[in-house]
Amino acid sequence: MINLEKLHTHKTKLYGRRQLQDIDRIAIHHSGTLEGSAASFARYHVDALGWPGIGYHYVISKDGSVRTSNELETVSYHVSGSNRRAVGICLIGNFTREKLPTAQRRSAENLVLTLMNMLFLPVNAVLGHREFSGHKSNQCPGLNMHAFRRNIAPHSHTTLKKGDQGKDVGDLQQRLKDSGYDPGPVDGLFGPLTEKAVLALQKDSGIREEGIYGPLSSAALHRTPNPRQLFRMIPAMTGADVRSLQRVIGAKEDGIFGPETERLLKNFQKEKGLTPDGIAGPKTKRALYGSTVSFGT
């Protein structure tokens, strides 16, 4: 079992349990506070509300870091009437008053896509708190959930190839750039550099390398979060960036950030005089790959 962040819990009360197949919804929340942490929310939920523990399964900070606060099998309290069927993700902030930071949005999209793939859920299973039955008067999460879903849904009917041009090509180029591939200038023109970037994506994702951007490439691109911090969580982080990390630290190159990867990463950090926290953030990535590589936040 992966160790969860140690948080305040009730002395006698315990949450119920469920099977993963019981889950058919992902609930997006905001904290409604400008600041906060999994630890502070746990104290409030236990001491003020009398709950067994923190209500959320994941808490995402404004810098994009993700903390696992409950196992998926835990029936915690976050959407009354739907707790047994829903995973709860809390974004720290009040998004009726402030804009969702880019790093936080990307982490939320990446986490939701990981959960959708793991639990075999469609995009319409992703709901804001207020979209659940009986919660329409609630402003949580303060986001445009239609836009959020649109952002994570693979563009299954879009096929783009060399010679195409327009907004769809520009959107593809920006997403490729955000994911660590180089499509050249974001100019809406599908040229040789964009084709080369699509081929690299397809190679990394085990898709037939043809340079044509279709449904499989779209799904792969929306599962390829770069730049991002890498660390051990539930469910495990996966992807080409994890394999790249494993290659450098000498871990098994399975693309899954598990206990061996965490252990060897901590050893690497100790050798480099870095904080051995098992998180591949900007400083650690610079030590791993060199100062010329940009990894964002």
Record the tokens describing residue 110, joined without a space: 């990446």
Angle at 197 between CA 241 and CA 100, to 5 degrees: 60
> Per residue in 181-215, is it b (16+ CB within 10 Å) or e — as a string?
bebbebebbbbebbbebbbbbbebbebeeebbbbe
Sheet holding 58-60, edge to edge: 66-68, 58-60, 86-91, 25-30, 126-128
Q: Are strands 58-60 and 66-68 parallel, antiparallel or unpaired?
A: antiparallel
Encoded tokens for 132: 């659940």
Burial status of residue 291 (CB atoms within 10 A of its CB: 0-12, 13-18, 19 or more): exposed
| Strand stretches in 3-143, DSSP E | 16-17, 25-30, 58-60, 66-68, 74-75, 86-91, 126-128
Euclidean distance between CA atoms 121 and 152, whole angstroms: 12
Whether the domain at 16-152 and the domain at 167-222 fall into the same CATH topology: no
Q: Residue 249 in 3-state DSSP?
A: helix
The whole-angstrom separation of Cα 63 and Cα 65 is: 6
CATH 3.40.80.10 is right for the domain spanning 16-152? yes
Task: Please tell me the predicted confidence (pLDDT) of residue 108.
Answer: 93
Instruction: Name the token pair of 32.
Output: 């409604």
pLDDT computed for residue 88 by the predictor: 98
Q: What is the pLDDT along the chain (297 residues), one digit of tens a residue?
A: 334 558 999 999 999 999 988 899 999 999 999 999 999 999 999 999 999 999 999 999 999 999 999 999 999 999 999 999 999 999 999 999 999 999 999 899 888 888 886 777 778 889 999 999 999 888 999 999 999 998 887 543 457 899 999 888 988 888 887 676 778 899 999 999 999 989 988 887 777 788 988 766 776 776 555 456 788 887 788 877 788 789 889 999 888 999 999 999 999 999 999 989 898 887 888 788 653 333 332
pLDDT reported for residue 121: 79
**Domain limits, the chain:** 16-152, 167-222
d(CA 149, CA 24): 16
Query: Could you tell me which CATH number the domain at 167-222 has?
Result: 1.10.101.10
Backbone Cα Rg of the chain: 20
Q: Omega of the bond prior to 185 within 30 degrees of 0, cis? A: no
pTM here is: 0.56
